[in-house]
Amino acid sequence: MMVETRSQNRVAAEQAKAWDKLELLFKSDEGQSRYLSRIIDISSQHLTIERPTLISGESLFKPDAPFTATFFRADAAYWFRSKVIEAVGDPVKAFRIDAPSQVERNQRRRYFRIEADFPATLSPADEPLSGEADVDGLPRFSGQCLNISANGLLVRTPMENRVGGKLLISIDIPRFESSLNTVGIVRLLQPSHQEKHYEYGIEFFTDREVSTILDDEGRRRLPETFRDFNQQKKTALHNFVFAQQLSLRKKRLL
Q: What is the largest CA-CA distance in the chain?
A: 59
For residue 23, name the pLDDT band (cuts at 50, 70, 90). Answer: confident
Pairwise CA distance, residues 233 & 18, whole Å: 29
Average pLDDT of the residues in 60-76: 85
Torsion angle (degrees, nearest 10) of CA 203, 208, 211, 212: -50
Angle ∠(148,149,151) on CA atoms, nearest 5: 120
**Of 20-24, 156-160, 215-219, 220-224, highest mean pLDDT:** 156-160
Q: Who contacts 161 (Cβ-Cβ below 8 Å, separation ≥6)?
A: 124, 167, 186, 189, 198, 200
pLDDT of 2 strictly over 70: no
pLDDT at 88: 93
**Of 2-11, 73-82, 209-218, highest mean pLDDT:** 209-218
Give the model confidence (pLDDT) of 189-202 as tens digits.
999 999 999 999 99
Angle ∠(162,174,210) on CA atoms, nearest 5: 40
pLDDT of 73 strictly over 50: yes
Q: Where in the chain is the domain with CATH 2.40.10.220?
A: 113-250
pLDDT at 4: 34
Amino acid at 240: F
Q: Which CATH class is domain 10-105?
A: mainly beta
Burial of 54 (0-12, 13-18, 19+ CB in 10 A): middle
Give the model confidence (pLDDT) of 119-171 as tens digits.
999 999 998 888 887 877 889 999 999 999 888 999 999 999 998 899 999 99
The answer, yes or no, to whether the previous bond of 139 is cis (omega within 30 of 0) is no
CATH number at 113-250: 2.40.10.220
Between 110 and 213, where is the model more confident? 213
Mean pLDDT computed over every residue of the chain: 85
Q: Where in the chain is the domain with CATH 2.30.110.10?
A: 10-105
Q: How many CA atoms lie within 13 A of 97 on its CB side?
A: 29
CA distances, 248 to each of 114, 147, 253 (Å): 10, 14, 5
Q: Who contacts 179 (Cβ-Cβ below 8 Å, separation ≥6)?
A: 170, 171, 172, 173
Residues 108, 5 contacting (CB under 8 angstroms): yes
Average pLDDT of the residues in 13-33: 82
Q: Who contacts 162 (Cβ-Cβ below 8 Å, separation ≥6)?
A: 186, 189
Between 48 and 112, where is the model more confident? 48
- Three-class secondary structure of residue 178 per DSSP: coil
pLDDT of 12 strictly over 50: no
Between 110 and 78, where is the model more confident? 78
For residue 238, name the pLDDT band (cuts at 50, 70, 90). Answer: confident
**Of 4-13, 164-173, 211-220, highest mean pLDDT:** 164-173
